[in-house]
Amino acid sequence: MKHAYLIVFLLLFTTNFLSAQPAFRGTAVTPSSPEAFSQHFSDYHLFRLDAPALNRYAKNTTGTFQLDLQLGSAYHWKIELQAHDIRSENYRLVAATPRGDEVQPRAANKTFKGSVLGPQGGEARLALDEHFIYGFVEIGPKTYYIEPAWYFDAGLEEDTYLAYPASAVISTESYTCAWEGIPSPDVHELPAPEAGRSVLACYQVDVALAADFSMVQRFGSVNGAENFMLGVLNNVQSNYDNEFAHQIFFVVATLYVSSCSSCDPWTSSLNSGTLLDDFTDWGNGGGFGVSFDVASLWSNRNFNGDAIGVAWVGGLCSNGRYNVLQNFVTNSALLRVLQAHEIGHNFNAGHDGQGSGFIMAPSVNNTNSWSNNSVSSINSFVNAISGAPGCLGPCGGSIDPPTPALTASATSGCAPLVVQFTDLSSGQVNNINWQFPGGTPATSTSSSPTVTYNTPGTFDVILTVSNSGGGDMLVMEDYIVVDQAPEPQFSFTIDGLSVFFDNATTNAQSYQWNFDDGNYSNTPFPDHTFATDGVYLVTLTASNSCGSATTQEYVVVESPMQAAFSADTQLGCAGLRVSFTDQSTGAPVDWNWSFDGGTPTTSTAASPTVTYETPGIYDVSLTVTNVLGTTSTSVQQTYIEVLPNPEAAFSYQYAPGGLSVQFNNTSSGSDSWFWDFGDGSTSSLQNPGHTYAADGNYSVTLTAFGPCGDDVLVQSIEVATPPSAAFNTNVLSGCAPLMVQFGNESSDNATTFQWSFQGGTPATSTLSDPVITFNAAGTYSVMLISGNAAGSDTTTQSLTIEAGPQSAFSVDYSIGDTEASFINQSTNADSLYWAFPNGTFSNADSTSYDFGMDGIYPVTLITVNDCGSDTLTQQIEVITAPTATFELDA
């Protein structure tokens, strides 16, 4: 770029350099998603910039103007610009809608060109709109681009902008042009330049731009798509202004945007060649509705393969004057090269070598350079085609553009406000265009239109005037002020008893608030705190010069409800009496208590008293209600603990035969204990063990102590070692019947006795010292079993029972004899004594006795032993043979 305008700018600068340069400062922003930028740029910066202010300054300043663009600490550019509207005088912005094609009002100029001030300053081009900055500046050998950052990260704020050096652009993929040498469907037969025809220094190329619905989706609106396409073409212009034998100046004749998903008049194919064919047929069929030299269709589709653009070669000013462009990347540097490349095909330039680094290289690369072949081809093509009718007209005009000015019959009043506008522009005015935002009609081409404003508000008035030398726009910001009777409206935010009023009233100059509690306010946005809960009818009266109006809203306020309570005690013994106190916030008027385990179980008192008779752990619940019926509940779980009275209890383990006992304390409601083991020993352990000194029955006493008193339990226990059995008798022998006194000499720990008496009466006994009779002589065994809980022991003794003598004898006697023999048959006799008649005695064991004569004689046997004597007498009859004798008695 050779910067042909630099001389003009520098001359202007010399006359205006003392003027103040408005500073527009950008605040550095750290991206939340840096990867959205780092994959495209090796060096970049984000800034938040007041684009609306910059836009207003640029569009309200006539002629050449300067500005100071300070982007944080990264960039500081002092720029001189002038309006450079690349739209034609009859430019049309057409939106394809479901209702058909609709021509949109022409906006103020959006494109500017100029230079960077300073010894190294180069060209500067910017496209500006309300929230849009797009373009580049050159400083020395470097080019810096600026564009909306939300193109990369939709989450960023609207007026966040990206700035980066062209050298920082990262190209990681191969994006190519789909052209393969196919000529235009209507190839020019290029004539040689006419003899004597002057070759102009600047040719104007009328451009038609189009965008499918995907571009509206990408940029959010028809205006967003327009800004993008004008911004790119404004950058592309820098590659055609001084690079060839003649300046080539692009002027946009029309811009056609599809604004709905069903509005695209072209195929939805992802094949770039198919889309080019369809776009060509549509354009040649009158789709644009105006004449033009070249046309570009932008799409946000992802074309098949790596193709991102295609064009008819040499198609300029013919039926092949079309190219198709994919919005393949978000950075403006490569998009500039893409459109410059495809228009280059329309200007009959072919591809340079792959990787050559020129604009016409097959793969799009970051460059501003044309190859010699491309320059030669385009120069020859322009020279040849410039003679074709209706193609490539001269740039600019011979007169100065007019300077717009206006006046109005009124600039303020109440709706409906009728205003008579008058054009006071200076210079030759060939075309006039008024724009009246908020007015009826909204536009006019009359020099003195009458406009009615039915809606209150503050409105701009825009006047654009032009001639063949150019045009200018005057924007009268906030020029018309329309009032009407106010429309009061408010909303509010409630925080407890405090209310924050948000006044949405329109057209008001003063306010009067009535809060329905005796309080008032005349501030626009009052805050008010009500004294008590309730429903209040708040009234707002708004007034202005056009009248007053009133609106009312019911406001319900209540203190924040939060149930809460406390108790004077939470722990105690059965019969615990607890006083509860309500500590709720929010002005409750009703209370509903629930007392698990308490008496009463419920209450509606604010601060009830409850008795707990049964030990346990209990919940308490309180629900409070205010006058508006709002409730809040607080449940305190395990809040009250009623301790039990102590209850002494214990068990014990005892191994029979020992003296040690282990006691197991099973008491409840206690925390200390006292043991009395019944033998003079004590303990305060919870589960003591104790060894007794001797067998016995002991009364063990456990006293359990707790917070709620004490309790005593006495149990009798027996400890015993096995006994030792022993006894004595008063005699060990004697004569039957013998009565024997037995004396128990068992150990003292014997508790049971089992006697067994062989031959005795009774034969058994459980007495300690029984008396037994032995009626028969003999040797008898006596057994004693002594027992207790620990076991038993057995002892045995023998007794000898003696019998008295038993006299018995037999007689050996033969009749006829006087002598008889006596045989002793007595038992148990130690000695004997025979007594015969006539006083004869004998102590022989067996004896004989001669009785001498017949007769009956007693014979007695007396036997004797230690137990006494026994006497037996038998009668013995002696019989001898008779002797015959007789005696005569005379």
CATH of the domain at 189: 3.40.390.10
Residue 399 covered by a domain? no
Residue 100 covered by a domain? no
3-class SS string, 483-532:
ECCCECCEEEEEECCEEEEEECCECCCEEEEECCCCCEECCCCCEEECCC
What is the structure's pLDDT at 184? 52
* DSSP 3-state of 314: coil
Cα dihedral: 501, 503, 508, 510 (round 10) = 20
Residue 599 covered by a domain? yes
Q: Say if residue 599 is in the same domain as residue 734.
A: no
Instruction: Please give the tally of structural domains in the chain.
Output: 8
Q: Cα(319)–Cα(322) distance, rounded to whole angstroms?
A: 8
> Given the DSSP bridges, would you call strands 176-177 and 160-165 parallel, antiparallel or unpaired?
unpaired
Q: Per-residue pLDDT tens for 572-587?
A: 999 999 999 999 988 8
Cβ count within 10 A of residue 819:
13
Q: Say if residue 336 is in the same domain as residue 246.
A: yes
- Provide the residue type at 371 as one letter: S
Does an H or E element contain 284, and which? helix 272-284
Q: Say if residue 276 is in the same domain as residue 192.
A: yes
Q: Cα(715)–Cα(708) distance, rounded to whole angstroms?
A: 23
Residue 890 covered by a domain? no
Q: Cα(805)–Cα(803) distance, rounded to whole angstroms?
A: 7
Of residues 265, 253, 219, the one with CA closest to residue 101: 265
Name the burial class of residue 878, with classes exposed (0-12), middle (13-18) and buried (19+) by CB atoms within 10 angstroms of its CB: buried
Name the burial class of residue 376, with classes exposed (0-12), middle (13-18) and buried (19+) by CB atoms within 10 angstroms of its CB: middle
Listed as ranges, residues in the chain with pLDDT below 50 are 1-19, 187-200, 397-399
What is the structure's pLDDT at 5? 30
What is the structure's pLDDT at 173? 63
Residue 672 contacts residue 603 (beta carbons within 8 Å): no
Residue 832 covered by a domain? yes
Interacting residues of 15 by C-beta distance below 8 A, sequence separation 6+: none
Q: Say if residue 835 is in the same domain as residue 793.
A: no
How far out from the chain centre does Cα 807 lie? 124
Q: Which domain holds residue 865?
A: 809-878
CATH number at residue 696: 2.60.40.10
Q: Per-residue pLDDT tens for 257-298?
A: 999 999 999 999 999 999 999 999 999 999 999 999 999 999
What is the structure's pLDDT at 13? 33
Residue 89 contacts residue 471 (beta carbons within 8 Å): yes
* DSSP 3-state of 79: strand
* DSSP structure class, residue 41: B
Q: Cα(442)–Cα(660) distance, rounded to whole angstroms?
A: 116
Residue 135 covered by a domain? yes
Q: Say if residue 464 is in the same domain as residue 494.
A: no
Of residues 603, 568, 566, 560, the one with CA closest to residue 585: 560
Q: Last residue of some domain: 508, 532, 557?
A: 557
Name the burial class of residue 187, with classes exposed (0-12), middle (13-18) and buried (19+) by CB atoms within 10 angstroms of its CB: middle
How far out from the chain centre does Cα 176 lie? 49
Beta bridge partner(s), residue 563:
none
What is the structure's pLDDT at 185? 59
Residue 885 covered by a domain? no
Beta bridge partner(s), residue 209:
255, 296
3-class SS string, 458-473:
EEEEEEEEEECCEEEE
Q: Say if residue 311 is in the same domain as residue 214.
A: yes
Q: Cα(572)–Cα(565) distance, rounded to whole angstroms?
A: 19
Q: Last residue of some domain: 586, 608, 643?
A: 643
- Whose tokens are 């329109």? That residue is 506
Q: Last residue of some domain: 117, 144, 168?
A: 168
Sign of CA dihedral 378, 379, 382, 383: negative
Cis-peptide into 441, omega within 30 deg = yes
> Given the DSSP bridges, would you call strands 322-326 and 294-299 parallel, antiparallel or unpaired?
parallel
- Whose tokens are 């509010």? That residue is 492
Structure tokens given for 737:
């019947």
Residue 123 contacts residue 138 (beta carbons within 8 Å): yes
Interacting residues of 187 by C-beta distance below 8 A, sequence separation 6+: 314, 318, 320
Give the chain's count of helices (H) and strands (E): 8, 64
Q: Say if residue 15 is in the same domain as residue 143.
A: yes
* DSSP 3-state of 226: helix
> Given the DSSP bridges, would you call strands 202-211 and 247-258 parallel, antiparallel or unpaired?
parallel
Q: Cα(229)–Cα(211) distance, rounded to whole angstroms?
A: 8
Does an H or E element contain 594, and which? strand 590-595
Q: Say if residue 706 is in the same domain as residue 750.
A: no
Cβ count within 10 A of residue 752:
14
- Whose tokens are 């004595």? That residue is 728
Q: Cα(630)–Cα(586) distance, rounded to whole angstroms?
A: 9
Q: Per-residue pLDDT tens for 362-386?
A: 998 889 999 999 999 999 999 888 8
What is the structure's pLDDT at 198? 35
Q: Say if residue 215 is in the same domain as residue 358.
A: yes
Q: Say if residue 822 is in the same domain as residue 764.
A: no
Q: Cα(838)–Cα(820) distance, rounded to whole angstroms?
A: 15
Of residues 748, 741, 840, 837, the one with CA closest to residue 782: 741
Q: Say if residue 266 is in the same domain as residue 230.
A: yes
Residue 89 covered by a domain? no
Q: Say if residue 776 is in the same domain as residue 815.
A: no
* DSSP 3-state of 140: coil
